[in-house]
Chains A and B, each alone.
Chain A
Amino acid sequence: GNSVTQMEGPVTLSEEAFLTINCTYTATGYPSLFWYVQYPGEGLQLLLKATKADDKGSNKGFEATYRKETTSFHLEKGSVQVSDSAVYFCALIAYSGAGSYQLTFGKGTKLSVIP
Chain B
Amino acid sequence: AQSVTQLGSHVSVSEGALVLLRCNYSSSVPPYLFWYVQYPNQGLQLLLKYTTGATLVKGINGFEAEFKKSETSFHLTKPSAHMSDAAEYFCAVSDLAGGGNKLTFGTGTQLKVEL
**Do the two chains belong together in a single complex?**
no
**Residue positions of B touching A, CB distance < 8 A:** none
Residues of A within 8 A of B (CB): none
